[in-house]
Structure 1
């Protein structure tokens, strides 16, 4: 018999006992008081009191057993049995990986400017200076349960959940508290409106919103041709643009994608050398027989690699119509956003020359990139800008003490598969050694596979620590996550009866069996504002967190009130950033 069966048996016996007591007290209570007086007059008062107490006690027992039965079968009770059981992150997990002491110890690598100092500044450092806050543990045993959970800045995080599950609500805490420079992408304007004033207290704030999402205007423009007079920059920029298209995943031949990058890099260099902007590239791609780019490359032999002009000319005159058509179609798709005049204005000649990534990375600033998820033609542009920032961040880190940035640089990539499809696996494997970290957000693992394929999905799963929120529906994903959380040993009791010549005998056997710590259905039905945290090296933990949007609003209101109090005669100053 299992422990659940014992619980049921106990409840039934308790209920029957209570009912019997209630019935007995009521039955005695029906006797005439005259009879009681004549037989037991000396103790009538005691009996009367006992009748009352017996009836109440019986009723309480019945009510209690019924309530216990309902509670025992409730979702809350089930959750407690699952959450408050062995197998979850324990005090050792917090000491080694998840707790405040663990992230401060990791600060020897991630925050040497604080961890290796004993001055006033180091003493004032908070836990958020050493890692991302992920809520308070609601699983396991105390003291682990109730402890704050963190991921140090050597960890890259992957948030997975459907819309409305609380991904942004949790991520906003890390964005607001990030001690260093941040690049944050989103399809919603609230990430900017909620946090920009708070981030402005730390450093400069920039907004690149080429589609004017939410009616917000960009604070700067960016020309994708910047630096493309150099071979490596042209190659990197072309790669980011081409791989930012969804069509790249549907290419029948991988070599065609590589050929497309090669052609695009030549066009980018030609346009830059001739003093043009991306509109020229879009025009040449729409007219594959136009050899203007070839003639430009021929005029700059000192800048152009040997053979580039000739190979571009050969590609243009190729008779392989099917391959040529596919390659040029993919290339046109990588700059199709230029057909939108609003976007074109944000990224044409001269735009963004004053935006210096290296200065930005050292200023503890914040760069917001907004894109409309319903128009994925914007993805190549935002991916290219994000790639541009990432590469300059790495170059800057390599000349810093320890070859890393301190404080670390954060990339918060909301809807990463839709608007900033950068090479997540490659970045995650590389970024930690340069003083950076990634928090990527997606609606499902299927979106990752659709964008980067099965191999890409497997690589991302292996490199990223996972933050799973309620509502995942894919059974295969749920079962895989459940297995990752692991199993625990539990006592199993079996009872049996056997008939023999000497009569019937009963037996009870005890054994050990394994059960899932968190079954698939419990992952799907996590409570609101809860997250399953799986830091790669640690046992899993479920956390509860507060709504980041509410915290951001309260902090912004407090900031405005403080500024208004400091400058009572200049109320316009308080809201200058909001209305700008």
Structure 2
């Protein structure tokens, strides 16, 4: 017997049935006869009247003091027919309910009550939002199975979600949080569904930008963004190089030789800084990496006053050939996305006459705008650029927040990092989680498993991300025993009384023993059905939720229209062919400002 079966029986089924039978025999039957005789007397009064005593009136039909009449027989027949009809209706509804019943819902009674999750109820999150001047309460997570109350993450919370495939995370969590966000939104993904479902609704109140260098959503580069505008110093150059290193590796890869891995990141950081200070396009970095003896980057760093960085790059160039090629080869692999010609038009102007708008993160975060950053995994991935774009935009929001009252954004920004382990491997994310919440930057990271997070941030980094997230949700379809055991332990245990009966020739004896069991075992969590999620909130017990899909939200029709519109073929915008763009001579100083006619 599974824990879900046992934990909610509350004792012996035989004892319960016997108790119900005794109550019916001792109270129910006499009460029914009392009512039958009383109502019959009202319809056709008995000449001798009715006794006032309850038991005399109830049992008179058996003692002969109140003989059966046709009136009582008709009433009894009518009552029997009505009871049979009600029983048939109950049976039909029970069968229907049984088909839809979710076995896991039985665990809800042992999990958090409404009081336990008070900080996440609509009343409290709405009060908190009002203090920040925001009308919407927060990010809806779902409705409690126990009681039906809706729970939210507030605009000070950060979220982590682990949902396996085909569990409804897009339609119940990611897409609704984008649509309902009161301010700017960044959304990353390796599929087009998020943008298709939400972009038209978001476009009603702000600009929509879709970064799609690999054609995930078949978007044309109608705008461009210069990644090097983020590289203002050596620290940011090192951060971007680290994100390039993480994003360029195969899933689960731990890196190569420790020396070459570190030296390669340092070299890449130096070249990124050189391209930034020298007003060069970012693809020039790959050119330098392909020509290990080219010292143009050293000269640019020297001229800009970055002497130590120039010495570092020059030192690598001066090393023996074999050692130099090892460092350059490692860095070249990290920056491999820069040789993808399809990407060039998204990160470079097409020439002196390019009239496309340039994406400026500092402007973006000041309105209710939306940025979708899309990429695929595998060879030629644009993941490092997706991560860099996300980091640059989030950093612009953080800097803007510092200038506002209380050091937080007046209107919160939502970052939906869908498929984070595949297309947005943000190395510093665990360290920033708690900080971003205090700035009004609500980060919502989606993973398909715990091990995905470990592949990116390591075991300690994943634990830090899990611990600092104010709201964690698990949506099912994960089969990692260690993770599920940890989650089961956090959900907790309950006490129950185990009853056993032994029969012997001289009679029988009943033994009762107090025991404990998991509220949701590893097997229960592995089999969590679609439409249910477990939520762990800061300072609150675990709670079982019903998820709320887009189809059950007020804007369902708009979502359907948006999806239909963007799933149909679209013509290529006039004047844009998506042809590869090269860094033409004479435009080397045009990568830091808006291109104007």
Structure number having the greater helix percentage: 1
The equivalent of 2:499 in structure 1 is 493
Q: Deviations over 1:339-370 (max 9, x none)?
A: 22111221125898732222211212111111
CA distance in 2, matches of 1:80, 1:113: 37
CA distance in 2, matches of 1:279, 1:77: 54
Matches within 5 A, 1:45-444: 76=101, 78-83=103-108, 85-86=109-110, 88-95=111-118, 97-107=119-129, 111-114=131-134, 125=135, 129-139=136-146, 145-170=147-172, 171-228=174-231, 230-246=233-249, 250-252=254-256, 254=258, 256-298=260-302, 300=303, 303-319=304-320, 321=322, 324-349=324-349, 354-375=358-379, 377-423=381-427, 424-444=429-449
The alignment of Structure 1 onto Structure 2 pairs a total of residues equal to 508
Secondary structure of the structure 1 residue equivalent to 2:272: helix
The runs of 5 or more residues in structure 1 that have no matched partner are 16-41, 115-124, 140-144, 561-571
Mark the CA change 1:216 to 1:68 in structure 2 (over 3 Å): closer, same or farther: closer
The equivalent of 1:31 in structure 2 is none
Residues 199 and 562 in structure 2, CA contact (< 8 A), matched pair in contact too? no
The equivalent of 1:36 in structure 2 is none
> Whose relative contact order is higher, 1 or 2, with alpha carbons under 8 Å and at least 6 apart?
2
How many Å apart are 1:244 and its aligned residue?
Answer: 2.6
Mark the CA change 1:104 to 1:65 in structure 2 (over 3 Å): closer, same or farther: closer
State which drifts further: 546-555 or 154-163.
Answer: 546-555
Residues 11 and 69 in structure 1, CA contact (< 8 A), matched pair in contact too? no
Mark the CA change 1:69 to 1:266 in structure 2 (over 3 Å): closer, same or farther: closer
How many Å apart are 1:579 and its aligned residue?
Answer: 9.5
**TM-score (ref. length: structure 1):** 0.76
Mark the CA change 1:386 to 1:257 in structure 2 (over 3 Å): closer, same or farther: farther
CA distance in 1, matches of 2:348, 2:230: 14
Mark the CA change 1:229 to 1:166 in structure 2 (over 3 Å): closer, same or farther: closer
* Poorly superposed stretches of 4+, deviation over 6 Å: 9-15, 62-75, 350-353, 557-560, 577-580
Counterpart check, 1:472 vs 2:502? no
Residues 192 and 216 in structure 2, CA contact (< 8 A), matched pair in contact too? yes
Aligned residues: CA RMSD: 4.2
How many Å apart are 1:136 and its aligned residue?
Answer: 1.2
CA distance in 1, matches of 2:550, 2:308: 55
Q: Deviations over 1:86-111 (max 9, x none)?
A: 3x12121232x220122124337xx5
Secondary structure of the structure 2 residue equivalent to 1:407: coil
Q: Deviations over 1:214-264 (max 9, x none)?
A: 322244211222254644443343333233332695235556444333211
Q: Deviations over 1:180-202 (max 9, x none)?
A: 11101111222112211111222
CA distance in 1, matches of 2:524, 2:417: 27
**TM-score (ref. length: structure 2):** 0.74
Residues 473 and 524 in structure 1, CA contact (< 8 A), matched pair in contact too? yes
Secondary structure of the structure 2 residue equivalent to 1:226: helix
Residues 358 and 393 in structure 1, CA contact (< 8 A), matched pair in contact too? yes
The equivalent of 1:535 in structure 2 is 537
Residues 234 and 269 in structure 1, CA contact (< 8 A), matched pair in contact too? yes
State which drifts further: 371-380 or 469-478.
Answer: 371-380
Secondary structure of the structure 1 residue equivalent to 2:188: strand
Q: Deviations over 1:497-535 (max 9, x none)?
A: 689xxxx46544444322211222222222322211111
How many Å apart are 1:490 and its aligned residue?
Answer: 2.2
Residues 213 and 342 in structure 2, CA contact (< 8 A), matched pair in contact too? yes
Residues 474 and 535 in structure 2, CA contact (< 8 A), matched pair in contact too? yes
CA distance in 1, matches of 2:99, 2:18: 17
State which drifts further: 147-156 or 245-254.
Answer: 245-254
Residues 137 and 147 in structure 1, CA contact (< 8 A), matched pair in contact too? yes
CA distance in 1, matches of 2:15, 2:96: 15
Residues 292 and 325 in structure 2, CA contact (< 8 A), matched pair in contact too? no
Mark the CA change 1:320 to 1:477 in structure 2 (over 3 Å): closer, same or farther: farther
State which drifts further: 457-466 or 479-488.
Answer: 457-466
Mark the CA change 1:409 to 1:14 in structure 2 (over 3 Å): closer, same or farther: closer
The equivalent of 1:482 in structure 2 is 488
